[in-house]
Amino acid sequence: MIPTHPRRGLFIALEGGDGVGKTTQRALLGRWLEDRGFELVLTREPGGTELGGYLREALLHGGHVDPRTEALLFATDRAHHVHSLIAPALARGAMVVTDRYLDSSVAYQGAARDLGITEVRELSLWATEGLLPDLTVLLDLEPGAAAARRQEAPDRLERESDGFHRRVREVFLELAAAEPGRYLVLDAAADPGELHAAITARLAPLLERR
């Protein structure tokens, strides 16, 4: 699907399982982009907007919801996030770096919750009018190693089984393998400085081309 949003900035998504170091890499990348004079929008899903904050709280710390409701709430968060924050930022030339985007819904709700990869992807593409990242960085890590790194109490999704998190990882890797031009897959066990260098090396030509 062709994005219908006009854009001059670049849209970069960080994806991966829980606790793989996305937030650290988002901060490092943000600083690198700012040092180069770009306007920067650092954001995340769920919860990149005020409405998203309520949805995040309900999704991660609220009571049980059925898988379809969960998928629709993530898609609602994403629709509002794109419409009110991401698309306007890209249109004015800002760099947008988000901690999670559409692939998280495909992996968690589509695959691990078994709602269907195609259906959940279509739902999010409808919600976002087809907006896809210019580059998705997948920080890949074995779920056991990721859980061991966690410092805070697990949220509702983190409490899911090992099998659930293995399925999430598998699907992220499949999505990346299907479109190597739009993905950078990194071993998240590597040193954060090395990961950052790999990300900026991949991003530099994209910045020059725009």
Interface with ligand TYD by CB under 6 A: which residues?
18-19, 22, 45-46, 60, 74, 99-100, 104-105, 108-109, 157-158
Query: Which of 67, 58, 141 is CA-nearest to residue 109?
Result: 67
Assess contact for 78 and 130: CB atoms under 8 A: no
Q: Which two tokens stand for residue 136?
A: 């998705």
Least distance to ligand TYD, CB of residue 19, Å: 5
The residue (of 74 and 172) whose beta carbon lies closer to ligand TYD is 74
Residue with the CB atom nearest ligand TYD in the bound state: 108
The residues with which 31 forms a beta bridge, in sequence order, are: none
The residue (of 37 and 148) whose beta carbon lies closer to ligand TYD is 148
The residue (of 35 and 137) whose beta carbon lies closer to ligand TYD is 137
- Tokens 């399925």 locate to 167
Least distance to ligand TYD, CB of residue 201, Å: 24
Residue 143's CB: how many other CB atoms inside 10 A? 21
Least distance to ligand TYD, CB of residue 69, Å: 12
Give CA–CA dist 143/141, Å, rounded.
6
Least distance to ligand TYD, CB of residue 132, Å: 14
- Return the amino acid letter for 64: H
Least distance to ligand TYD, CB of residue 160, Å: 8
The residue (of 159 and 209) whose beta carbon lies closer to ligand TYD is 159
Give CA–CA dist 54/194, Å, rounded.
35
Give CA–CA dist 195/184, Å, rounded.
11
The residue (of 120 and 199) whose beta carbon lies closer to ligand TYD is 120
